[in-house]
Structure 1
């Protein structure tokens, strides 16, 4: 079985987490030839995966666990909370798992910020991805936190390949 690595991305809304993850995922897939899986946390339960009136919506709306399969994709709708290990088992295979949110998970984490840092994230981060909008001398950043350029996905990928946790 091949080695599967996982890393988390944390930070407040509109900090650039999703944009950075998209850049990283595309490069890992298209330039490094790796299989990437992504888990996104939806803390406010806002995500919508189907359109009202369609069969998959009707099935999911019953409260049942639903899998919709087609020639090009499989989508899993669940009404239950899943732990990280349960979600990992749903993926057939991957080389790198990128998790957005869930800052309390026991994964190496990159915290993403623009304009201002929230020091409440400091205990949960292993790396800090920021841009020039943040003046780091204004903050007491823990010594063991590695600084990354938010606009340099190659630097972020290097950190991931060196620090991600085997899952």
Structure 2
């Protein structure tokens, strides 16, 4: 079995996290031939995946755990919070797990910022992904934090391969 690795991305809303994760995931899949799994944290419970009135919504609305399967995909609707190891078991087959948010998970973390860096994230970051809108010299970064170019997905992937946690 190949080793499976995980990395987390954190940062404020509209910092570019999702865009970076999309670029990284596409390159990992299409250029590095990796199976990629993604977990997104929805702290305000805003995400909507199902449409009221449809069968899958009605099933899910009962409070049951629901899997909807079709010839091209399988969708899992869970009514309870799952810990990281439970989610990893659900995914089962992947090479790289990308997590957006969940800053308390014990995973190496890339913090993503544009325009300004929120120093509250310093305790949670192993790397910093920024663009030209930030002058890094204006900040007193913690020791050992690598600085990455937000727009260079290849360098971010290189960092992931070196620093991700085996899961």
CA RMSD of aligned residues (A): 0.6
Structure 1 Cα separation of the partners of residues 96 and 42 of structure 2: 20
Q: Identify the residue that residue 82 of structure 2 maps to in structure 1.
A: 82
Q: Identify the residue that residue 108 of structure 1 maps to in structure 2.
A: 108
Alignment: residue pair count: 167
Name the SS for the 1:79 alignment partner.
coil
Q: Identify the residue that residue 41 of structure 1 maps to in structure 2.
A: 41
Alignment of 1:4-153 (within 5 A): 4-153=4-153
Structure 2 Cα separation of the partners of residues 95 and 156 of structure 1: 16
Residues 65-112 of structure 1 show CA distances to partners (whole Å, capped at 9, x for unaligned) of: 111111111111111011000000001300000000001110000000
Structure 1 segments, 4+ long, off by >2 Å, are none
Structure 1 Cα separation of the partners of residues 3 and 65 of structure 2: 30
Structure 1 Cα separation of the partners of residues 51 and 134 of structure 2: 40
Structure 1 Cα separation of the partners of residues 34 and 64 of structure 2: 33
Structure 2 Cα separation of the partners of residues 81 and 92 of structure 1: 18
Structure 1 Cα separation of the partners of residues 70 and 57 of structure 2: 15
